[in-house]
Structure 1
């Protein structure tokens, strides 16, 4: 019989960014003449830099030809990418590093959510506040929290 992970039921009902949006909307409504600098999800202030646009176009063109197509990357990331990262981001700044010391993942968000899987659920974790929601939610879903205190807004 399939059973649900009971820890999912511990998650509070609102996601941080929807809570922020509600508070911003309420503030804007109450203070229509105040200027707000928005730094939330999907809120950008400038277009993507031309160098990035050019690199994206080149990468898309590269993927459209059999000779230059790249499939799934190896477990540590493409060697050519790790070499460029070592050379341009570290060695160029005086830090000696070898490409085999570099790991290219799909992003810090999933890494931070997944790294806790190596620890037993009885291990304690400390999470700063404020924090990106996935860091708390992934530990809650893994059973590493107590009960969420709605009134206090904390675990």
Structure 2
């Protein structure tokens, strides 16, 4: 019979996606009227086909990854500033939300 390495038992919980799932469930249970509006950007499959604008942006991003001058590796932990600003400009412009509040 196989035994568990005792060091495995010392690992602390903290894997990101189960924690996100736990928090989303808690929020959804407490706010059933708002749970349908949650935009799930975590691990898993998408639920709808990607729109043409998303596909075009992905193609453009792939092309950028093929050129040294525009290549991007892993981004900052809070996301790229240009992307966070674009999210604010396109989604939250009238709400007084700033890019440093988007992560």
Q: TM class by shorter-chain length? A: 0.5 to 0.7
Whose RCO is larger (CA < 8 A, sep 6+)? Answer: 1
2:55 to 38, 53, 56: 53
State the Cα deviation string for residues 93-122 of structure 1 (Å, max 9, x = none): x2001111111xxxxxxxxxxxxxxxxxxx
**Residue equivalent to 2:68:** 66
CA distance in 2, matches of 1:43, 1:96: 30
Point out where structure 2 has 5 or more consecutive residues left out of the alignment. 10-43
**Under a length normalisation based on structure 1, what TM-score does the superposition of the two structures give?**
0.37
CA distance in 1, matches of 2:46, 2:102: 31
CA distance in 1, matches of 2:45, 2:100: 35
CA distance in 2, matches of 1:62, 1:83: 19
CA distance in 2, matches of 1:50, 1:75: 28
CA distance in 2, matches of 1:90, 1:42: 26
CA distance in 1, matches of 2:95, 2:46: 35
Moved over 4 A (4+): 41-44
Q: Once the 2 structures are TM-superposed, how far is the Cα of residue 42 of structure 1 from its aligned partner? A: 5.7
| Larger gyration radius, structure 1 or structure 2 | 1
Q: Does 1:88 align with 2:98?
A: no
Q: Once the 2 structures are TM-superposed, how far is the Cα of residue 66 of structure 1 from its aligned partner? A: 0.7
Point out where structure 1 has 5 or more consecutive residues left out of the alignment. 6-40, 104-155
RMSD between aligned residues:
2.5
Gap change, CA 1:43 and 1:82, over 3 Å in 2: closer
